[in-house]
Chains A and B, each alone.
Chain A
Amino acid sequence: MPLFLKRFLFWSLCLIFLVYTFYLYTSSTSADRGLAFLDEKAKAGKLLFQKYNCTACHQVYGLGGYMGPDLTNVISAKGKGPGYAKAFLLSGTARMPNFHLSSEEIDNIIAYLGYVDKTGVSPIIDFKLNADGTVSAGERK
């Protein structure tokens, strides 16, 4: 393969990649149905979620660790909710450590989980498989 062709391919791919990256940073990821619920407490809660490395054991949208349940919709799930989640944060379990969080920290984390809950659904269990290998997701009932 001649050098000019290699260079051409390399730089064209890089250019397309940059344009693609721009769209991903902006319009393609701008639909966030939960934004109205993202107050200062929720923002602080997100940073606490990172500070205590909750992601080592928990997932949000199926991304993260595997020891504990996915937390995306814990705030709205049947039989669960803010009080239920708080109980775990207050005392831990045999598997989940007690982080001795302050009540403010707990409130912030719950606010963050409340925000995440509004943004979408995970895991998706209400879906339709299509013949081309894609999936159409149904709305949560």
Chain B
Amino acid sequence: MKKDTGILFVFLALLALGSGMFFGSLAALQFIIPGFSDWIPFFKTRPLHVSLVVAWIFLASVGGIYHYLPAFCNLSLRYPSLPKTHFRIFFITGLLVLACYFMGYFGGREYWEFPPLLALPILASWMLFGFNYAGTVLEKKNTWPVYLWMWGTGIIFFFFTFSEAYLWLFPYFRNSIVRDLSIQWKAYGALVGSWNMLVYGTAVFLMEKIKGDTKVAYSTQAYLMYFLGLFNLMFGWAHHIYILPVAPWVRILSYAVSMTELIILAKIIRNWRSSFSRGSRVRDSLSYRFLYASDVWIFLNLILALAISVPAVNIYTHGTHVTVAHAMGSTIGINTMILLASCFFIIESMPEKSNNRSAGKIMKAGVVLFNLSLFVFWTSLIFAGVSKGVMVVEGKLSFREMMDKINPFLITFAVSGISMFVSVLMIIIPVIPSLGRYIAKRTSL
């Protein structure tokens, strides 16, 4: 494994996570203290935060896949030098995106707030990834574990949905707010679905490797869950646009499709106790701890997602901080927990890993603090959102009065957000030196 470019992705992913949470903390403070840190105003810190943490999710997923295929799946990459090209393009484009935000050049669309031209190199590098992935896994003639399907699906749909998110460049789509917002959120729904495919695929992979249980990756049930996920990715996104004047069937279909996630909820509850191994050696690993935490967060967030997909609930929560709770709960509680499990699975299997016990203690404390802070963060957003939603519908208070009323929740949100940032530093700083040593030995830029 001389060319382990996957690790470079993982390293950059951890840096993106740390800096993304830094800007998130800054933005949260600016939210509650007008004029705070004026040198970089909120309309710049917000996209810096969003793009860096989205980059974390993609870099960590992609890095894991590049690393796992040859190291654990017995599939050597079809084009072993392409990952490095992918990495270079992504890295340089990332720097350009950050530079644009600092200088105030925006594309001004939610999620992808950078100028649209920069989407081209991202798409090109993704094609290299897809091309390499297909070339690699199509060699495998015997039955695929479900995660190979999931990763492939994630790659294809990211390509589709990322392109779809740029249809606004055509006047046909841009020049009607109803069509523009519908297609934008259709694309984002599938976008999140596509990265969930990458991340959940990684979770299944880790369960298989950590538990040594191949059933999770090959059983009919595993495949049924995959198809249910795909079905939701495609058709279950419209809770974002229930209030837009689109054709009614769009709403009704999405409502019905979203409710099929109840099946997943039922399955989680049934499998709750059996889904994790009890061996203490395994349980001691950070990787296991993160996976365990993600299981709890999947449960909590699924309930929230189901609730806001019901139009009668959505009408109160749409456009409020409940939507933020939903987004944060799934990107942090589920995606980040699984991806940290993946990063630590790789790090803990490196010969270069350090065995410093006090660092280990700090990291374990970091995991606990991370989860507790997230819980406070998540609940304060729900309280803020529900209060605002009820006040909006009552229609008695002005915007400013409502914001003042929910300010205590927003302060709690900012404080717990900063505490999450600190806990992530406690988790990732101790592993930077050993990752650096590993990279120096096994890869080159």
Residues of A bordering B, CB below 8 Å: 1, 3, 6, 9-10, 13, 16-17, 20-21, 24-25, 27-35, 38, 43, 46, 49-57, 59-70, 94-95, 97, 115-116, 119-125, 127, 129-130, 133-135, 137
Contact = CB atoms under 8 A, between A and B. Distances in A.
Nearest to A134: B311
A52 B176 contact: no
B108 A129 contact: no
A64 B110 contact: yes
A134 B289 CA distance: 40
A6 to B, nearest CB: 6
Contacts of A57: 42-43
Given A97-B41, A119-B177, A51 B245 contact: no
Contacts of A70: 319
B326 interface: no
Contact of A24 (B31, B153, B250): B250
B227 A13 contact: yes
B149 interface: yes
Given A6-B149, A66-B324, A123 B174 contact: no
Nearest to B388: A66
A32 B177 contact: yes
A42 to B, nearest CB: 9
B319 A31 contact: no
A29 B399 contact: no
A62 B243 contact: yes
A55 B110 contact: yes
Contact of B106 (A20, A52, A127): A52
A122 B183 contact: no
A124 B107 CA distance: 29
B241 A125 contact: no
B108 A53 contact: yes
Q: Which of A29, A68, A97 has the most CB of B within 10 A?
A: A29
Contacts of B42: 56-57, 67
Interface string B102-117: 0000111110010000
8 contacts: A6-B149, A10-B230, A20-B234, A28-B246, A119-B245, A120-B178, A121-B243, A133-B313
Interface of B: 31, 34-35, 41-43, 46-47, 106-110, 113, 143, 149, 153, 171, 173-179, 181-183, 185-186, 220, 223-224, 227, 230-231, 234-235, 240-247, 249-252, 255, 310-315, 318-321, 324, 392-393, 395, 399
B250 A28 contact: yes
A127 B315 contact: yes
B41 A31 contact: no
Given A13-B230, A24-B250, A67 B31 contact: yes
B53 to A, nearest CB: 15
A119 B230 CA distance: 33
A120 to B, nearest CB: 5
A47 to B, nearest CB: 8
Contact of A29 (B149, B182, B312): B182
Contacts of B399: 68-69
Contact of B143 (A3, A67, A95): A3
B149 A65 contact: no
Given A31-B245, A35-B176, A120-B178, 19 more contacts: A1-B223, A6-B223, A17-B234, A28-B246, A29-B179, A38-B175, A46-B175, A56-B42, A60-B177, A63-B185, A95-B34, A97-B43, A115-B177, A116-B177, A119-B177, A134-B251, A134-B255, A134-B311, A135-B314
Given A62-B318, A123-B392, A133 B241 contact: no
A56 B315 contact: no
A63 B319 contact: yes
Q: Which of B46, B177, B231 has the most CB of A within 10 A?
A: B177
A29 B34 CA distance: 39
B234 A32 contact: no
Contacts of B46: 56, 65
B176 A134 contact: no
Nearest to B143: A3
Contact of B319 (A56, A120, A123): A123
A13 B320 CA distance: 33
Nearest to A93: B34
A9 B319 contact: no
A24 B108 contact: no
A115 B180 CA distance: 14
Contact of A51 (B106, B251, B319): B106
Given A62-B319, A120-B245, A125 B113 contact: no
A27 B108 contact: no
A55 B109 CA distance: 7
Given A31-B245, A50-B106, A53-B47, A63 B315 contact: no
Contact of B243 (A17, A21, A61, A94): A61
Contact of A34 (B31, B177, B312, B393): B177
Top 9 nearest A-B pairs (CB, nearest first) are A62-B319, A50-B108, A28-B247, A29-B179, A56-B43, A69-B399, A53-B106, A133-B310, A94-B34
Contacts of A9: 227
Contacts of A67: 31, 42
A40 to B, nearest CB: 11
Nearest to A6: B223
Contact of B235 (A6, A20, A123, A129): A20
